[in-house]
Amino acid sequence: MAQQKNNKGLPRVVEGTLALAGLIVAAPVILVSGLAVMLSSGPPVLFRQQRVGRHGKEFSLYKLRTMKHSSGGPQITSGNDVRITRLGSFFRHTKLDELPTLWNVVRGDMSLVGPRPEVPRFVKLEDPAWQKILTVRPGITDPVTLHLRSEADLLAAVAGDTEQFYVDKLQPEKLKGYLAYLEQRSWQGDLKVLFRTVAAVVAPHDGAHVSLDDVSRLPE
């Protein structure tokens, strides 16, 4: 895969250091949250899922488990998914389930900022758009993900097959947004996205909600 121009985000050493520091600071929260998962719905505490990373290499993504322990069901989760536990709904709303993902950044599987990683089922390695996107490490956040912070609620409003809507309409728009982001990517821009993401988690507001009509107007 050819390298994308102007795709330099935060230096790897900076991201790794920030992620490690974040893990250390968040360790008590992760432990308490993990204990809450164990007491409310039993093991396992962590959710692990294969995602597609840089150059198409698959890796295991780690999160706190927010759903009933099951090996079946759709791989796209909407806000009204019956598999989500009561505690899991709180974790998803506050993004606490994402804290273990910092370990993926420490390991080098992911970046703090970059296109969100997909499950293998929804990645077409032969697609030129995916080939460009996969020249960089996937991230925990990015401008598109920040705009779609309420993606699960958006999917809950879909009448019909949620996965088909995701594949046919939502994902293509997300890919356009990812490509536009990579074209103008800079470490300064990634830092701003990181700060905006932290602010959105600490002080969420109604403006973060996106309707179905907004899908074709994702940030580019």
pLDDT of 3 higher than 50: no
- Residue 44, preceding peptide bond in cis (omega within 30° of 0): yes
Other CB atoms within 10 A of residue 161 CB: 12
CB 76 within 8 A of CB 160: no
pLDDT value of position 119? 94
User: Is a pLDDT exceeding 50 seen at residue 4?
Assistant: no
Phi and psi torsions of 113, nearest 5°: -120, 130
Instruction: Return phi, psi of residue 190, to 5°.
Output: -65, -35
What is the end-to-end Cα distance of the chain in Å, rounded?
23
> Radius of gyration of the chain from Cα atoms?
17
pLDDT for 213 = 53
The distance from CA 144 to its chain's CA centroid, rounded to whole angstroms, is: 10
Report CA-CA distances (Å) from 162 to 93, 117, 165.
20, 19, 5
Q: For tokens 């899991």, what's the residue?
A: 88
In a domain, 145, yes or no: yes
58 in any annotated domain: yes
In a domain, 125, yes or no: yes
Domain span at residue 70? 12-217
Q: Do the domain assignments include residue 51? A: yes
For residue 90, give both structure tokens: 């709180």
Task: With beta carbons less than 8 A apart as the criterion, state whether 111 and 105 touch.
Answer: yes
pTM for the whole structure: 0.85
pLDDT of residue 1: 44
- Cα of 97 vs its chain's centroid, Å: 11
Whether residue 7 is predicted with pLDDT greater than 70 in this model: the reply is no
What would the pLDDT profile of 45-98 be if each residue is shown by its tens digit? 999 999 999 999 999 999 999 988 765 666 667 656 788 899 998 998 889 999
| pLDDT for the residue numbered 217 | 53
Q: Structurally, how many domains does the chain consist of? A: 1
For residue 5, being part of any structural domain is answered with no
Tokens 């356009």 belong to 176
Note whether residue 136 is domain-resident: yes
What is the spatial distance between Cα 90 and Cα 80, in angstroms, rounded to a whole number? 13
- 186-214 per-position pLDDT tens digit: 999 999 999 999 888 887 664 445 554 55
Q: Which residue has the tokens 């273990």?
A: 100
pLDDT at 184 exceeding the cut of 50: yes
pLDDT digits (tens, 9 = 90+) for 98-133: 999 999 999 999 999 999 999 999 999 999 999 999
In a domain, 148, yes or no: yes
23-43: per-residue pLDDT in tens? Answer: 999 999 999 999 999 999 889
Can you tell me the distance from the alpha carbon of 132 to that of 16, in angstroms, rounded to the nearest whole number? 23
35 in any annotated domain: yes
* Model pLDDT, residue 32: 97
